[in-house]
Amino acid sequence: MVATAAASAFFPVGAPATSSATSAKASMMPDNLDARGIKPKPASSSGLQVKANAHASPKINGSKVSTETLKGEDTLTSSPAPRTFINQLPDWSMFLAAITTIFLAAEKQWTNLDWKPRRPDMLADPFGIGRFMQDGLIFRQHFAIRSYEIGADRTASIETLMNHLQETALNHVRSAGLLGDGFGATPEMSRRDLIWVVTRMQVLVDRYPAWGDIVEVETWVGASGKNGMRRDWLVRDSQTGEILTRATSVWVMMNKRTRRLSKIPEEVRGEIGPFFIENVAIIEEDNRKLQKLHENTADNVRRGLTPRWSDLDVNQHVNNVKYIGWILESAPGSILESHELSCMTLEYRRECGKDSVLQSMTAVSGGGSAAGGSPESSVECDHLLQLEGGPEVVRGRTEWRPKSANNSRSILEMPAESS
């Protein structure tokens, strides 16, 4: 109807009611009368009648009238008005009414739309790639915890958190304009075939986020000795500001071709040096020596672990996050069911490639039912990931705390499963 009203403003058409009235009126007249109510004369004598009365004065009600007067009256009644620019303009009142109708209909449709999400905290990554804080020295990025990133406890897994840390670090380098051709390498590093490799990492988890939560990850870098770089992270709940995870790591350079460690060239130091700050995420680091395990001293051993093609990164070695999953492969099931990982310290000793075959070993060193203690007590485990019959790949130590009943919050927020 809106389109009809708008069209009629520019293209007036005859009213249907008028046509109906005219037709009805014509049907009521006698057959010998025309539409004007005048009886026509036979066509055979019309020509003679006109010729005979050519010079006679017409009479109306017995009075003679001038022929010029009749011609003028006939012209006024039958001739249409001259077509000019003015009388061809559309009816602007109808045009304005049509425009008003359109806007009112659009406004009604707009207000009927439900623009408010039912759970605003479940928006998918609404904050983009991230932004710099504190004069460009700290980089912050937000992540939404998605359904495929949670584990059996319906909270984010430790691998999910580690992937968030790694993604934020790479976006930090890219946003700073230091990303070269390599995986997180600067332009000067790419010219020298240098890449970053992690040698040590410590992670403290105070609380795991649940599905639908949005977390903000902050990262920054600093110097670590003469030839190392330190990178730290803080993970917070974006709504409350509560600190969920703290992490710190040490990185060194390795030649991509020779696979040997390298010193930091001065050109590279000039690129990354302006971004170094003195700030630590973990004040009291766990500097205890990590124990070496053997098959006869380990409580659980998992053999035959092989990397898949998807486990390799662009530098053609296994991603460091994958090592964490392999380490937990040998953790006792009783601990995984009753406890959650609260602290993890890892030492990366060498890399492994796509053809490597590894074994994972775990020894429970204290607390928990797996070590003969109470299930409500904390548990500490030592780990070793090594090539089968070969050198060590990763040493580690994990601490586990009993799962809190308050963690059922995330379970109650999950939708009911369909039968």
- 172 part of the active site: no
Q: What are the b/e assignments for 329-365, b being 16+ CB within 10 Å?
A: bbbbeebbebbbbbbbbbbbeebbeeebebbbbbbbe
Alpha-carbon span 211 to 156, nearest angstrom: 7
Bridging pattern class, strands 194-205 and 228-237: unpaired
Q: Which of 319, 320, 343, 352 is catalytic?
A: 352
Tens-digit pLDDT string for the chain (419 aa): 444 444 444 444 444 444 444 444 444 444 554 544 545 545 444 444 444 444 455 554 555 545 554 444 444 445 556 666 556 666 677 778 888 888 787 776 665 554 444 433 333 334 457 889 888 899 999 999 999 999 888 999 999 999 999 999 999 998 888 887 767 789 999 999 999 999 999 999 999 999 999 999 999 999 998 899 999 999 999 999 999 999 999 999 999 899 899 999 999 999 999 999 998 888 788 888 998 899 899 999 999 999 999 888 877 778 889 999 999 999 999 999 999 999 999 999 998 888 899 999 999 987 654 445 556 789 999 999 999 988 999 999 999 999 974 454 444 444 444 33
- 317 part of the active site: yes
- 352 part of the active site: yes
Alpha-carbon span 417 to 23, nearest angstrom: 70
* Helix, strand, coil share of the chain (percent; to 5): 30, 25, 40
Q: Which of 163, 279, 315, 407 is catalytic?
A: 315
DSSP 205-253: ES-PPBTT-EEEEEEEEEEETTTEEEEEEEEEETTT--EEEEEEEEEEE
Q: How long, in residues, is the chain?
A: 419
Q: What is the CA radius of gyration of the chain?
A: 44
Cβ contact 250:199 at 8 Å: yes
The amino acid occupying position 415 is P
The amino acid occupying position 239 is Q
Cβ contact 179:186 at 8 Å: yes
Q: Which two tokens stand for residue 202?
A: 């410590």
Angle at 295 between CA 400 and CA 324, to 5 degrees: 40
DSSP 66-101: -HHHHHHHHHHHHSPPP--TTTTS--HHHHHHHHHH
Residues with Cβ within 8 Å of 412's Cβ and at least 6 positions away in sequence, in order, are: none
Alpha-carbon span 411 to 413, nearest angstrom: 5
pLDDT at 409: 42
Q: Which of 317, 320, 343, 383 is catalytic?
A: 317
Cα–chain center distance at 218: 20
What sign does the CA torsion over 411, 416, 418, 419 have?
positive
Alpha-carbon span 176 to 223, nearest angstrom: 17
